[in-house]
Amino acid sequence: MKVKNNVIINMYLRMKRIREFETKAMNLFAEGSIPGFVHLYLGEEAVATGVCANLDDKDYITSTHRGHGHIIAKGGSLNEMMAELFGKEAGYCKGKGGSMHIADATKGILGANGIVGAGHNIAVGAGLSAQYQKSGQVCVCFFGDASTNQGTFHEALNLASIWKLPIVFVCENNLYGISMSQTRHQAIKDIADRGVAYNVPGVAVDGNDVFAVYEAADEAIKRARDGQGPTLIECKTYRHRGHFEGDAGAYKPKEEQEFWMQKDPLPRIEKYMIDNKVVTPEELEKLKAQVMGEIDEAIKFANESPYPELASAVQDIYSDIVEEGRVR
Amino acid sequence: MASIGIIANPASGKDIRRLVSHATVVDNNEKVNILKRIILAAQTHGIMDFYIMPDTYQMGYAVIDSLETRRELKANIHVMDMSITGSMRDTKRAAEEMEALGVGCIIVLGGDGTSRAAAKGIKETPLLPISTGTNNVYPQMIEGTIAGIAAAMVAKMDIPHASCMRDKRIEVYKNGELADIALIDAVLSSSAVVGAKAIWDVDEMDMLFTTRCHPASIGFSSIAGYMRIVRPEEDLGVMLDLKSETHRVLAPIAAGVITELTVGEPKEIALNQTVEMKMDSNGVVALDGEREIIFREGDVLGFKITREGPYRVKVSETLERALEEGIFSK
């Protein structure tokens, strides 16, 4: 497959944004600047990027508790994300949702989600709406390996298949469900195999190679737009950090970590870009500097935003309809 | 005491060709089933030691667990003590170690790519490839039970190569150095990335080299196979310009995908003759259907067909020979 240079550079920028955003979030969390929980996407950048590079703003994604990467890859605002992590009023959820509830309807981002497996069925709803309205939209559902043991995964694949919904199910198999190795939580190795039970084509790809993900997603999204129904893509990847910040990840063998660090997606795409003269080394440094500038700007934006007013703590909890009903 | 080695590729049967064609899906539990059938058949014919490549799905242990639970296991199954990389390197290394252990036959479960990886690790050991992959010209669709019996016969033969065929291979050289091999076909492609590895877009293919071609084959070698036949026994190969517009040919390049192509005249390549070409742009060489060798503008690629491929077990001939020797009547 030929991938245009501007697409490659765009994918690199997205991956680098995720890498630097997450690295900064890691450090800020350690310093105590970020309240709540953060689950970092470090190491998995190629998955969200390779998939979302094939999508438009009007296409939907559903995300997970480890959602920063999906949101950045889909074009979410770094400023509003960082402000949300800081609990500031200028954040995506006015500072009241934190890391796991970021959504952006203008970008088709249907929300990060603290409940494992909750995105599957939201994706089916989004896919059904796209099909019903003949809008040409596609919904990509991101989820982890362990969530495929939830009933929602099976219900979603079944419905999506029987109704031929325009959905791409993208499994980020990072080998662990929290701290439990995949070998201990399911009696299969390839989650792609689970598609067969629902007559959904399942393919497994190297999730740390952005081009492999891009190609598979390209084909799957074409199928979805063409009315051929859902696809299951399993991306084999690895999270560099623990399940959440604070989890030292002692259950991950050292050799395994070293093996996967050699497959780190960022150096791979950088090497490709240099080797294939997509950019010169100087241009690559400029791209890196551009991203670092964006991250610094996001932190500045977050720092300068006020905390939400105390009175707003009970606002946005219930819809206005309910509030109005109570008044009546 | 004769022993058998078994390599089952846990990644075969699930690549992107399930999306871009209608390729067979083979899950790993079915591969475990095939392993069981091989072992039960071969142990009945006196093979008491089996060496199995370790893999990420731990198929070897699944076989032991199942057969011991059913009290059917008489032989010793050794899951080899080697680290796993989860890549093609595991297959090559397991094959090397099996040859060093002196196994009488190596059974390989996978597609053309898996056989290719195993072939890179061995020199003398007979190879019996079973298809659990995608485009399968090299491995056969064969029942595991029969493969197990045939492998047992080969392992016990005084002359292990008696019912084997020494296959051809394509040696691919990059700037004078042997870069890799293919057993069936090598395709020169203008694809810029290795990406999802499998290759399917004929518009990106420039040149085909093949060790054999036949209209009963699937995959890229079939493009030449719908113009002429070159059999495994013949000491020659074929190259075909896929950018030329001399002939039109309809060929089954993938499962359920029959494509019309315009191509040049198939040219014979004699055994041990090297075809060299200087590349005028970047690209990738796909070996047995998978993008493997990245080349850059200015690199010189060489393609040589030799008879240095593996000794492949001819299953029917092996069993016929055993029958003639009265082995099954004892």
pLDDT tens sequence across B19-32:
888 888 888 889 99
Sign of the C-alpha dihedral computed for residues B311, B317, B319 and B325 taken in this order: negative
Contact A130, A168 (CB under 8 A): no
Residue B186 near residue B287, CB atoms below 8 Å: yes
Taking a contact as any Cβ pair under 8 Å apart, which residues of chain B between 71 and 110 contact chain A? 83, 85-86
| Token couple for B244 | 């030329």
At residue B197 the predicted structure's pLDDT band, cuts being 50, 70 and 90, is confident
Structure confidence at residue A234 (pLDDT): 97
| B-proximal residues of A, 165-184, CB under 8 Å | 183
C-alpha distance from residue A150 to each of A118, A157, A180, B187, B250 (Å): 9, 12, 15, 43, 46
Residues in A touching B192 (Cβ below 8 Å)? 1-3, 276
| Min distance A57 CA to chain B CA atoms (Å) | 25
List the structure tokens of B91.
Answer: 């297959």
Q: Of A188, A216, A259, which has the smallest distance from its Cβ to B19's Cβ?
A: A216
- Is the pLDDT reported for residue A302 higher than 90? yes
- Tell me, yes or no, if A202 comes closer than 8 A to chain B by beta carbon: yes
Which pLDDT does position A323 carry in this prediction? 59
Quote the pTM value: 0.85
pLDDT(A317) > 90: no
B-chain residues near A192 (CB < 8 A): 14
Residue listed under structure tokens 């591969």: B31
Residue B192: its pLDDT value, please?
A: 77
Confidence at A322, pLDDT banded by 50, 70, 90: low
Chain B residues with CB-CB distance to A223 below 8 A = 19
Contact B195 A212 (CB under 8 A): yes
Chain B hits for A202, CB-CB cut-off 8 Å, are 14, 18, 25
Inter-chain contact A2–B190, Cβ cutoff 8 Å? yes
- pLDDT for B195 equals 82
Q: Identify the residue with better confidence: A315 or B125.
A: B125
Chain-centre distance for alpha carbon B74: 30
- Whether B29 has its CB under 8 Å from any CB of chain A: the answer is yes
Residue A327 banded pLDDT, cuts 50, 70, 90: low
B contacts of A220 (beta carbons < 8 Å): 19
CATH class of this structure's domain A5-327: alpha beta
Q: What mean pLDDT value characterizes chain B?
A: 93
Q: Where are the domains of chain A?
A: 5-327
CATH code for the structural domain at B169-306: 2.60.200.30
Residue B10 · residue B162 · CB < 8 Å: no
Map chain B to HEC letters: CCEEEEEECCCCCCCCHHHHCCCCCCCHHHHHHHHHHHHHHHHHCCCCEEEECCCCCCHHHHHHHHHHHCCCCCCEEEECCCCCCCCHHHHHHHHHHHHHHCCCEEEEEECHHHHHHHHHHCCCCCEEEEECCCCCCCCECCCHHHHHHHHHHHHHCCCCCCCEEECCEEEEEECCEEEEEECCEEEEECCCCCCCCECCCHHHEEEEEECCECCCCCCCHHHHHCCCCECCCCCEEEEEECCCCCEEEEEEEECCEEEEEEECCCEEEECCCEEEEECCCCEEEEECCEEEEEECCCCEEEEEEECCCCEEECHHHHHHHHHHCCHHHC
Q: What percent of chain B has pLDDT over 70?
A: 99
Q: Which of A211, A208, A229, A209 is nearest to A220 (CA)?
A: A229
Given pLDDT bands bounded at 50, 70 and 90, which one contains residue B68?
very high
B187 neighbors B263 (Cβ within 8 angstroms) = no
A221 to chain B: closest CA residue: B19
Best mutation target, B9, B12, B14, to test chain A (most A CBs within 10 A): B14
Angle between helices A78-86 and A281-304 (to 10 degrees): 40
pLDDT at A328: 56
Dihedral Cα B310, B316, B318, B320, nearest 10 deg: -160
CB distance B193–A211 less than 8 Å?
yes
- Angstroms from A211 CA to nearest CA on chain B: 5
pLDDT at residue B196 in the model: 80
Å between B16 CA and nearest CA of chain A: 6
CB contact under 8 A, B11 and A201: no
Estimate to the nearest angstrom the gap between the alpha carbon of B156 and the chain centroid: 23
Cβ pair B185, B239 in contact under 8 A? no
Residues on chain A touching B57 (C-beta within 8 angstroms): 188-190
Q: What is the pLDDT of residue A159?
A: 98
Compute the average pLDDT of residues A67-87.
97
Statement: residue A220 has pLDDT above 80: yes
User: Rounded CA gap, A56 and A44, in Å?
Assistant: 21
Q: What is the mean pLDDT of chain A?
A: 95
pLDDT at B20: 82
The domain limits of chain B are 3-167+310-329, 169-306
Tell me the per-residue pLDDT of A16-50, one tens digit each, with 9 for 90 and over: 999 999 999 999 999 998 998 899 999 999 999 99
% of chain B at pLDDT higher than 90:
78
Q: What are phi and psi of A137, to 5 degrees?
A: -75, 155
Provide, as residue numbers in chain B, all residues whose Cβ is less than 8 Å from the Cβ of A196: 25, 27
| Residue of B11, B25, B193 lying closest to A1 (CB–CB) | B193
User: Could you report the per-residue pLDDT of A194-205, keeping only the tens digit for each?
Assistant: 999 999 999 999
Distance of CA B26 to the CA centre of its chain: 16
Q: Does position B38 have pLDDT exceeding 90, yes or no?
A: yes
- Reference A84, options A104, A59, A54, A58; nearest CA is A104
Nearest CB partner across the interface for B19, out of A206, A223, A275 = A223
CATH value of B3-167+310-329 in 3.40.1030.10, 3.10.105.10, 3.40.309.10, 3.40.50.10330: 3.40.50.10330
- Work out whether strand B267-270 and strand B236-241 pair parallel, antiparallel, or are unpaired: antiparallel
The C-alpha atoms of residue A189 and residue A183 are separated, in whole angstroms, by 7
pLDDT given at position A64: 97
Q: A192 in contact with B at a CB cutoff of 8 Å?
A: yes
The tokens describing A153, both together, are: 């995964």
Q: Does A231 touch chain B (CB under 8 A)?
A: yes
pLDDT score for B57? 86
Contact status, residue B294 vs residue B284, Cβ threshold 8 Å: yes
pLDDT at B330 (0 to 100):
61
pLDDT in tens, B249-292: 999 999 899 999 999 999 999 999 999 999 999 999 999 999 99
* Amino acid residing at A296: D
Is B57 an 8 Å CB contact of chain A?
A: yes
Instruction: Return the number of CB contacts < 8 Å for A and B.
Output: 84
- Cα→Cα distances A20→A27, B215, B330, Å: 11, 54, 72
pLDDT for the residue A314:
83
Q: What is the ipTM of this complex?
A: 0.75
